Structure formats: C-alpha cells, structure tokens
Amino acid sequence: MCKACLGFGEEVIEPKILEVEKRKRIDILPYREEEFFVENYGKLIIETRERKNLSREQFAEKIKEKQSVIKRVENQELTPDDALTDKIERFLEIKLKRLYEGKYTERKVKKTELTIGDIIKVE
C-alpha cells in the first residue's frame, strides 16, 4: 500500500501459514512378534527350584522377593511383571517366555439375512 492510501483504512496483517510436516502412514505389518508365558510356567518354576534343593522361602530370599509373591506365581495366580520374570529366569536359568511370531488374521463374518423369527421369540 502506498502512503497516500494508508489514510483510508487499517493495515491488515495476514497470519503466517505454517507448513506442517505430513506424517508418514504406518502400514500394518503382516507379521508381529509377541512374547507369551509358556504353559504351566508355575510348575516349571517349582520343578527347577526343587532340583536346586531350594525351599520357596530360600528362593524368595535369594531373589529378594516376598514368599507370598513366589507362591502366587508358582500357583499361576499372579503373572509376574518383566522385572520379576527376569529375576526368576536369571536365577533358575530357565525361560518363562517364548517368542511367538504369527500373522495378523482377519475374521470374516458371514453376512446372513435375519428374519423376524430370528429376532422375536414366539411362544
């Protein structure tokens, strides 16, 4: 705008438009890896602990955990967190978790037409 035109209005300042970086689309991977506890992990802990001639109390003391926690883990009433799992695995030299590699699967649902008899129970 020239100086002569400035008297006829107000100067309008246009806001700056920021360019936003586009996020890349994350495609669903066809495979995924998951860790899961082996079946009967409690029995495995008990058998290994007994092979090392340790009572539950001695074992709990060695890994600095409460005896009640060890009892619940051995009875599979409690799933140990990662820290406790690591302690048990390291001390007993066993693996409580296994790696599972599987494919994502889609559930295909058959589309069926419902009749009024499927919805209403007639007595």
For 96, counting Cβ atoms within 10 Å of its Cβ (0-12 exposed, 13-18 middle, 19+ buried), the class is: buried
Which pLDDT value is given to residue 56? Answer: 96
Which pLDDT value is given to residue 63? Answer: 96
Which pLDDT value is given to residue 110? Answer: 58
Helices H, strands E: what count in the chain? Answer: 5, 2
Which pLDDT value is given to residue 44? Answer: 95
Which residues of the chain fall below pLDDT 70?
A: 1-3, 5-6, 9-33, 101-114, 117-118, 121-123
Which pLDDT value is given to residue 114? Answer: 66
Q: What's the topology of domain 39-103?
A: 434 Repressor (Amino-terminal Domain) (1.10.260)
